[in-house]
């Protein structure tokens, strides 16, 4: 079992049992107690657990847990997407990133770049890149959504409208077979729209699970996107919509 899978399994146990013991987990997963303690430290750092004597207990915040769950879901796929996108971004360019666990993987993959201007409404992106050599980090002002670190609202929209970037990289919650790009929060969507209208090259990042999610607030459609980077073959109707929109679809490191 990989470290990511083990973390997800520990989270599942915390949800079911509220608390876990280090020694019991070490036996369950056939690893050393030291390995489990490192896993516990990672969960505590992410705000998912509280350390106890001999183990950990679940955090009461379900909103934080939900976002951290999304980070762990399809983690390998999101990491692969991030690396593909980072390969498109040359040193010395400017990039806008919105909130999302996949855009955070793009930021992680950009950490070895230099002389970038990174513009974002995602507190987590700043945390990922603040000790790197990327260059300039600019973050929007406005209301912070505690559950995921998104900065949303009119001030964040106005901030994006003050800038122009070479690249926009946005994530979403849902993709419809007709090419619609969707999310749940109108305030978050308003920022994503501002990012798209202020970038020269527009990249959408979404793992294959987004085709199984229904959301009602439209960010836009494929006509507004130059490249979609995903991890699996989209539905045929979506591929036809992408073809009509002249949107390139990339699956990991190969074109579809």
What DSSP line would sit under 35-53, residue for residue?
A: HHHHHHHHHHHTTSEEEET
Q: Tell me the pLDDT band of 63, cut-offs 50, 70 and 90.
A: very low
pLDDT tens string 136-163: 999 999 889 888 889 999 999 999 999 9
> Taking the model in full, what pTM does it have?
0.74
Say what the pLDDT of residue 65 is: 47
Q: What is the CATH number of domain 74-255?
A: 3.40.50.10470
The three-state secondary structure class of 204 is: strand
| Residue ranges with strand state E in 126-198 | 135-139, 143-145, 150-152, 165-170, 174-175, 180-183
In the chain, count of helices (H) and strands (E)? 10, 16
Distance, in Å, from the CA atom of 40 to the CA atom of 38, rounded to the nearest integer, reads 5
Say what the pLDDT of residue 59 is: 61
> What is the residue whose two structure tokens read 């964040």?
156
pLDDT tens string 185-243: 999 999 999 999 999 999 999 999 899 888 899 999 999 999 999 998 899 999 999 99
Whether the CB-CB separation of 203 and 88 falls below 8 Å is answered with yes
* Least confident span in 17-21, 23-27, 181-185: 17-21
Mean pLDDT across the chain, nearest whole number? 89
> Is the per-residue pLDDT at 64 higher than 50?
no
Which segments of the chain belong to CATH 3.40.50.10470?
A: 74-255
pLDDT tens string 88-98: 999 999 999 99
CA–CA distance from 207 to each of 84, 113, 228, 246 (Å)? Answer: 13, 24, 10, 20
What's the CATH class of domain 3-70?
Answer: mainly alpha
Which segments of the chain belong to CATH 1.10.10.10?
A: 3-70
> Is the per-residue pLDDT at 62 higher than 50?
no
Say what the pLDDT of residue 27 is: 94
Higher-confidence residue of 223 and 50: namely 223
Distance, in Å, from the CA atom of 50 to the CA atom of 41, rounded to the nearest integer, reads 9
Tokens of 10: 């520990």
Say what the pLDDT of residue 66 is: 60
């Amino acid at each position: 079992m990989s470290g990511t899978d083990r973390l997800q399994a520990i989270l599942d146990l915390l949800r079911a049992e509220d608390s876990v013991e280090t020694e019991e987990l070490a036996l369950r997963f056939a690893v050393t107690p030291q390995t489990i303690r490192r896993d516990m430290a990672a969960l505590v750092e992410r705000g998912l657990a509280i350390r106890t004597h001999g183990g950990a207990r679940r955090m009461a915040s379900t909103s934080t847990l939900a976002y951290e769950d999304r980070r762990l879901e399809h983690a390998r796929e999101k990491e692969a997407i991030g690396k593909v996108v980072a390969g498109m971004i040359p040193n010395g360019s400017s990039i806008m990133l919105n909130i999302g666990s996949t855009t955070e993987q793009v930021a992680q993959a950009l950490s070895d770049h230099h002389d970038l201007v990174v513009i974002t409404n995602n507190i987590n992106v700043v945390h990922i890149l603040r000790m790197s050599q990327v260059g300039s980090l600019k973050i929007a002002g406005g209301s912070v959504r505690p559950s995921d670190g998104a900065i949303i609202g009119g001030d964040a929209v106005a901030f994006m409208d003050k800038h122009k970037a070479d690249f926009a990289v946005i994530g979403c919650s849902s993709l419809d077979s007709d090419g619609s790009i969707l999310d749940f929060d109108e305030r978050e969507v308003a920022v994503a729209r501002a990012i798209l209208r202020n970038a020269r090259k527009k990249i959408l990042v979404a793992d294959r699970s987004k085709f199984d999610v229904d959301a009602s607030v439209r960010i836009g459609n494929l006509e507004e996107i130059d490249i979609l980077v995903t991890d699996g073959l989209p539905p045929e109707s979506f591929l036809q919509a992408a073809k009509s929109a002249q949107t390139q679809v990339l699956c990991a490191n190969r074109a579809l």
